[in-house]
Amino acid sequence: MKILHGIGASKGIAIGKITLCLNIDNHIEKKTIIDVEAELARLDEAKKTSVEALNAIYAKALKRVGEANSMIFQIHIMMLQDEDFYGAIQTAIREEKLNAEYAVWQAGQQFSEMFSQMDDEYMRGRASDVIDISKRLIRNLDTRLANGLDSLSSPTIVAAADLMPSETVQMDKEMVYAFVTQEGSKSSHSAILARTMGIPAVVGLADQFNELSDGAEIIVDGNTGDVILEPDEATRTDYRAKQEEFIKHQQELKLLKGTKAITKNGVEMEINANIGHPEDVDLALENDADGIGLFRSEFLYMESNQFPSEEEQFIAYKTVLERMGGKRVIIRTLDLGADKQVPYLNLPHEENPALGLRAIRICLDRQDLFLTQLRALIRASAYGKLAIMFPMIISVDEVRQIKGLVEKVKNDLTKEKIPFDPHFEIGIMIETPASVMLSDELAKEVDFFSIGTNDLTQYTLAVDRMNHSISKLFDSRHPAVLRMIEMAAQSAKKAGIWVGICGESAADTSLTEFYVKIGVRELSVTPSAVLELRRAVQQIDIK
């Protein structure tokens, strides 16, 4: 028996035998071809098959994991059809007389390396996507290189050097107990999908991965990140008990549907869901969220090749408000820039985009776009309980400028006799140290604060949250961050407005009691975490 240590990426415990997936990089042969046109025709056919498969995966993913998590497959289709990438493969076949499989592999490596060296975080994230679409093309060129996930004959634990998003989302929970990977991180697309789908996962085993072999029995503990190779009977018995306890816990959580998040001493919390698309409301309702605490409107922009019109946005916002049936829906105005780029916005290259033209700065710089979104939002307020939230605030002047634009839209709609609810709430995100230090003044201008702990942690600690080499320094429980949160909460309480948390640490149950104590009354998390958080609140007893 041996214990390997990785990163727990998705909670749960699995016991079973390994299916070791083929590492395609070790099986690509470099050949010289004679019939160039025939090879190009093979490539085109593989491309056609790949696009058809990606469209099918996208449709399947929509139902399983929602629009926000499915959008990656639309990006894959666009990348597959990119002239630079596909043209590089064709050129290698024509000029170097390479076989299509090797030409694809070569282009994939080159473009992946190019993306990984870029300054922009969003573009760096495309490196793994290029590898994903390259593997898909190669497997459609040579079916012998299939990874085996499509032909599993019995339930198993999948072990792979890495898993691409398209491979993860196709996993059948009845056939895949869990997966472990050599590479990857807790924030990778595959890890996020695993959590959404409820598949236990451990990633980042590094060199320890080489100790795994096909058919070997292992225990995967997605809670701790441990992988136990060839466990003895006592360990197996112990983990079966833990597994049953985890399943029982998940079933008990379902019993909390319809209950309130009220502490033992009578403090009521609102537990809301974060979503990125109208279709994600299904997950929020399924997990009995009290409302929507963060609708990331930028995804409407990121999944389009042009600015979404006022009518397109209005329909999206109206749909969410109607489906939530009078529960509060907080919609964040577009938060583009930094790691969320759209080509048609034509943002300038920046050495440090996280500190550059992003979020509200874009909105106030491009007021035509901002006014279009505000009109759509305020029109939608007639169909439910709307709250509008503005990100990346650093000054009172910004808030007053925003409120002036809101009043302009309200006046225009009144003149046009277009209905809206004049009593919708206006709030700001507290996610910069500047907004914390000015929180006493900002609180006088708005109806609520929502603390974005992801960026607040990044800016407070001067730690790039997308940089895995310093990820151990990114700590949302750091005393400096907690003091920032408490200061903002005190300012909100003094001004008589409510305050919530919508960053990742909202789901950290070790911080829940702290949030209750300082006056936070709303927490917004990924839909699957709603019931767990409700349970944590109900167990708090502050004397």
Per-residue pLDDT of the chain (543 residues; tens, 9 = 90+): 899 999 998 889 999 999 888 676 667 889 998 999 999 999 999 999 888 888 887 777 766 666 656 777 777 888 888 888 999 999 999 999 999 999 999 999 998 888 777 665 556 667 778 888 888 898 888 877 766 666 677 889 989 888 877 777 777 778 889 999 988 777 676 787 788 778 899 998 988 999 998 889 999 999 999 999 999 999 999 999 998 998 888 888 999 999 999 999 999 999 999 887 788 898 899 999 999 999 988 877 776 777 889 999 999 999 999 999 999 999 999 887 655 666 667 767 766 777 777 789 988 988 999 999 999 999 999 999 999 999 999 999 999 999 999 999 999 999 999 999 999 999 999 999 999 999 999 999 999 999 999 889 989 999 876 665 676 788 889 999 999 999 999 999 999 999 999 977 898 999 999 999 999 999 999 888 899 999 999 999 987
SS (HEC) of 110-167: HHHHHHHCCCCHHHHCHHHHHHHHHHHHHHHHCHHHCCCHHHCCCCEEEEECCCCHHH
pLDDT at 17 (0 to 100): 92
CATH label of the domain that carries residue 355? 3.20.20.60
261 shares a domain with 244: no
Domain-terminating residue out of 145, 171, 202: 145
* Strand segments (E) across 432-489: 448-451
Give the closest residue to 522 by CA, choosing from 451, 425, 458: 451
The answer as to whether 70 is a domain residue is yes
Structural domains of the chain, count: 3
CATH label of the domain that carries residue 134? 1.10.274.10
Q: Which of 21, 76, 189, 363 is catalytic?
A: 189
Report how far residue 370's alpha carbon sits from residue 122's, in angstroms, rounded to the nearest whole number: 22
Domain-terminating residue out of 126, 145, 164: 145
118 shares a domain with 33: yes
420 shares a domain with 359: yes
The answer as to whether 400 is a domain residue is yes
Residue 121 annotated as part of some ligand binding site: no
183 shares a domain with 220: yes
The answer as to whether 345 is a domain residue is yes
CATH label of the domain that carries residue 195? 3.50.30.10
pLDDT at 350 (0 to 100): 66
The answer as to whether 222 is a domain residue is yes
pLDDT at 220 (0 to 100): 95
The answer as to whether 57 is a domain residue is yes
194 shares a domain with 308: no
280 shares a domain with 244: no
Residue 99 annotated as part of some ligand binding site: no
364 shares a domain with 243: no
pLDDT at 403 (0 to 100): 97
Residue 162 annotated as part of some ligand binding site: no
54 shares a domain with 183: no
| First-residue to last-residue Cα distance in the chain | 47
Pairing of strands 217-221, 226-229: antiparallel
Distances (CA, A) of 41 to 52, 99, 111, 151, 309: 17, 12, 23, 27, 40
210 shares a domain with 107: no
Residue 448 in contact with residue 497, Cβ under 8 Å?
Answer: yes
Task: Clarify whether 349 is annotated catalytic.
Answer: no
Report how far residue 111's alpha carbon sits from residue 425's, in angstroms, rounded to the nearest whole number: 46
- HSE-up (13 A, CA, CB side) for residue 41: 4
- HSE-up (13 A, CA, CB side) for residue 82: 18
Domain-terminating residue out of 200, 220, 252: 252
Residue 358 annotated as part of some ligand binding site: no
Q: Which of 21, 76, 363, 502 is catalytic?
A: 502
The answer as to whether 543 is a domain residue is no
450 shares a domain with 342: yes
365 shares a domain with 284: yes
Task: Clarify whether 502 is annotated catalytic.
Answer: yes
Residue 375 annotated as part of some ligand binding site: no
pLDDT at 200 (0 to 100): 92
The answer as to whether 289 is a domain residue is yes
pLDDT at 80 (0 to 100): 84
71 shares a domain with 29: yes
Residue 454 annotated as part of some ligand binding site: yes
Domain boundaries, position 374:
255-538
The answer as to whether 229 is a domain residue is yes
